[in-house]
Amino acid sequence: MKIGVPKEIKNQEYRVGMTPNAVREAIAHGHEVIVEAGAGHGSGFEDGDYTEAGAQMLGSAEEVFGDAEMIVKVKEPQPAERKRLREGQLLFTYLHLAPDGPQTEDLLASGATCVAYETITDARGGLPLLAPMSEVAGRLAPQMGAWTLQKANGGRGVLLAGVPGVSPADVVVIGGGVVGTNAARIAAGMGANVTVLDLSLPRLRYLDDTFGHLFCNRYASQGATAELIAQADIVIGAVLVPGAAAPKVIRREHLSTMKPGAVIVDVAIDQGGCAETSKATTHDDPIYEVDGVMHYCVANMPGAVARTSTIALGNATLPHLLALADKGWKQACADDPHLAEGLNVHAGKLTNRAVADAQERDFIEPAALF
């Protein structure tokens, strides 16, 4: 199979779909790899690294999309990229379709087969291709929250760790999954007072058993959530419903109870955000204010640490990439029901129930296709 890797064009997105090592693996499996010139520069990979690994470098995205049977990316295809997709082509990337009707419409119209990293599962019910970027975003969230909390950035002017004689910041993490756990660990390690909210008692027991008194946890009742949001200097939204739009657990009325200059870091923004007042921002212009509360809602947070993120993501995606290339999407999905969960669009049909429910569209079960 001919695998194409275009340069990412989303605002300040520096990651790349395949590392040179991934290229070597694909070529060892008998595939061709074509890479757009400069695609790896933002992650610290030069064109020569790819040619040394056996890839052919092409001068434009049009050439890559035009020649490749399979496109491997990081972020969802932007409008210009969606126009280049064609019937029968395989797209393997993050999609986050649930809150994105225009992208869904374009992918359906393209006739392409689209497999989304974020809905592939594993035998334990986890999301193995989302996990590495959730780890990165979770670990970045306290850093970004601490930066936004600085007075010059519109925040309260509170130091996360405090100093002797002055209390540290109060950080509330809503959601105790991969993002939330990593955010809580880093925020606590930076010296903040941290509380994690979750609806799963087994998950809360796990956090308590694993981390002890490093941070506190509470059951995420509406009352407890409202109480802690009102006390917080930083609220980190780490809520995830796989494949679906994020539930709005931070409501507009909560903002009026928050401290002036408090911060919301909405890591769920890729799935529409878990705050009613959240809207996607970019690394160029990451924060905005609503009712005196600062919002940090960058939709590609891991792109800020592109080299770490690219290598971590590549470690997770490579086995699935090779399965799709070695067998073709139909046989690969038939052989692996967890990979089949990643199938979101095929030949003008929606194949993911959560996306269909979020957009009130019809869909077909992936198993009906093979």
Query: Does pLDDT of 1 surpass 90?
Result: yes
pLDDT digits (tens, 9 = 90+) for 290-342: 999 999 999 889 989 999 999 999 999 999 999 999 999 999 999 999 999 99
Range 78-98 average pLDDT: 97
pLDDT digits (tens, 9 = 90+) for 113-142: 999 999 999 999 899 999 999 999 999 999
Whether residue 242 is predicted with pLDDT greater than 80 in this model: the reply is no
Long-range contacts of 345-348 (CB under 8 A, 24+ apart): 345/97, 345/104, 345/107, 345/108, 345/112, 345/113, 345/114, 346/113, 346/114, 347/87, 347/111, 347/113, 348/108, 348/109, 348/111
Q: In the prediction, which pLDDT does 11 show?
A: 84
Residue, of 99 and 38, whose pLDDT is higher: 38
Residues identified as active-site = 96, 270
- State pLDDT tens for residues 212-225: 999 999 999 999 99
Closest CA to 149 of 23, 261, 62: 261
pTM: 0.88
- Percent of the chain having pLDDT more than 70? 100
Rounded to an integer, what distance in angstroms lies between the CA atom of residue 137 and that of residue 347?
33
The residues with which 298 forms a beta bridge, in sequence order, are: 281
Return mean pLDDT, the chain: 96
Locate 221 and state its tokens.
Answer: 């009742």
At 36 the pLDDT is 98
The pLDDT value recorded for residue 240 is: 84
Helix/strand/coil for 116: strand
Q: pLDDT-derived band of residue 359, with 50, 70 and 90 as boundaries?
A: very high
Among the residue ranges 31-35, 181-185, 242-246, 349-353, the one predicted with the least confidence is 242-246
State the pLDDT at residue 354. 92
- Give every CB contact of residue 27 below 8 A, 6+ residues apart in sequence: 33, 53, 54, 55
pLDDT at 12: 87
> Phi first, then psi: what are they for 234, rounded to 5°?
-130, 130
- What mean pLDDT do residues 262-274 have? 95
